[in-house]
Structure 1
């Protein structure tokens, strides 16, 4: 029996938990899958499934073999894609996930450029704040600030996560009050609420000096970053902004950085934004091309 077919049928049986459901998914007969698994068991000299009249479950050897079989099938699929794309344009799907705030800040532009450059590639972009599992979610890559010490992932720094205090010129003119340490409680603050962020105090740095600052009372709070940013641009208060988001508005004059002698510590989000991808995906042309375009765009904007 063809080993590749047998591996595919074994993996499908393990994932569906029965020969009949796996056979329906693959368009084959249950007896064909039973025969394929039996062939593998004979070759290995171990049972891969414990079977009873009511259920079937992987043995310890089955769990070990399943992981290897999945990796082997994935590597063959990737190799086939790479060989095909040596001769043709990039094609297929590219799945990525990122926080919602990355979308309007820079990711939408990169994705549009990527689609224009590679019209045969279908993009699937999932914007959420959850740290999803790239394998379980079927993602090719992720963009994240925050923890990157996740097993099986390569973390490539994209841009430094510098944090600024910003306001619109209209707000500063209307308020008529300088923004210094002593006047912070008197200003209107638009504050982003996130379950991982400290709601009680901020840390400011000025050179080697580290200052603990009580978080000021908020004029408005929201769990949606872009909603708050729109209100900041309309002149309704001060907001804490990462540089990758603030830069175009600072360049256009829509926002002004205040207390520029200080840097806010990025808290749990960490000092860098990273591109995360699985080790076995590092050489795929689709992934490489997207990362190169992303890095090029960030460099073009001066925040790479």
Structure 2
């Protein structure tokens, strides 16, 4: 019997817990699946399932073999995709997840460019702040700031998480006063609320010096970063912004950087934005091409 077919039928049987349900899903007969599993058991010299009249369950050997079979089938599928895409355009689907603020900052543009250059690839982009499991969610890659020491994931730095203090020229003209560490509490503040961020004070750095600043009462607080940014652009106050978000507005003069010698510590978000992907996906060409386009765009913008 064809080994690949036997492995496919074994994995389906284990996942469905039944020869009949697995057979229905694969479009085969239950007897064909029974024969395939029996062939594997004879080859291994051990039982993969414990069977009774009421139920069937994997043996200890079955659990071990299932993990290996899944990996083997996945690697064969990936290899097939790679060979196909060496000869043809990129195709298939690419699923990624990222925080909502990454969309307007750079991900919108990168995804649109990718779709133009690779029209046979279907993109699925989930924008949310939840730190989702790439395997459970079926994602090819994720963009995240914050913790990256997760098992089975490769974390590739994308851009430094440099936090700048910014305001619009309209706000500075209306307020009629400069910004300093002596008078910062007299300004209108737009403050991002997040469970990982301290609500009482900030840490800023001036060279090697670390300075603790008491947070003033905000004029506007929100858990939505892009809402606050829109208000900052409309002249409603000061806001701490990551450079990857502030860069185009600073370049166009819509925002002004204040206290340029000082940097806010990124707190729990960490010093880098990372691209996260599973180790076995690193050689997948569509993943590699998307990452290269993303990195190229960040270099083009001067924020790599």
TM-score normalised by length of structure 1:
0.96
* 1:54-73 superposed matches below 5 A: 54-73=54-73
Q: Name 2:161's counterpart in structure 1.
A: 161
1:282 match: 282
Equivalences for 1:92-241 in 2 at 5 Å?
A: 92-241=92-241
| Corresponding residue for residue 41 of structure 2 | 41
Does residue 28 (structure 1) correspond to residue 37 (structure 2)? The answer is no
- 3-state SS of 1:149 partner: coil
Give the root-mean-square deviation of aligned CA atoms. 1.2
Moved more, 91-100 or 37-46: 37-46
Aligned residues: 304
For 2:122 and 2:66, the matched residues in 1 are separated by 29
Structure 2 CA distance for partners of 1:51 and 1:198, relative to 1, 3 Å: farther
Residues 204-254 of structure 1 show CA distances to partners (whole Å, capped at 9, x for unaligned) of: 000010011122211112111111111111111111110000000000011
Matched residue of 2:182: which SS?
helix
- Distance of 1:193 and 1:244 partners within structure 2: 19
CA distance in 2, matches of 1:42, 1:20: 21
Structure 2 distance, partners of 1:183, 1:15, is 63
Listed as ranges, the gaps of 5+ residues in structure 2 are none
Bigger Cα displacement from structure 2, 209-218 vs 155-164: 209-218
Deviations 1:234-276 (A, max 9, x none): 1111111100000000000111111111000111111111111
Q: What's the offset of the Cα at 1:73?
A: 0.5
Q: Deviations over 1:68-125 (max 9, x none)?
A: 1111001100111111111111111111111111011000100111111111111111
- Partner deviation per Cα, 1:10-49 (whole Å, 9 max, x = no partner): 1122222222222222122222222222221221122222
How far apart are the structure 2 equivalents of 1:20 and 1:194?
Answer: 49
How many angstroms apart in 1 are the aligned matches of 2:199 and 2:189? 13
Determine the structure 2 residue equivalent to 1:258. Answer: 258
CA distance in 2, matches of 1:156, 1:93: 22
Uncovered stretches (5+) of structure 1, i.e. residues with no partner: none
Report runs of 4+ in structure 1 exceeding 4 Å deviation.
none
User: Counterpart in 1 of 2:12?
Assistant: 12
Q: Distance in 2 between matches of 1:84 and 1:209?
A: 55
Cα offset, 1:177, TM superposition: 2.4
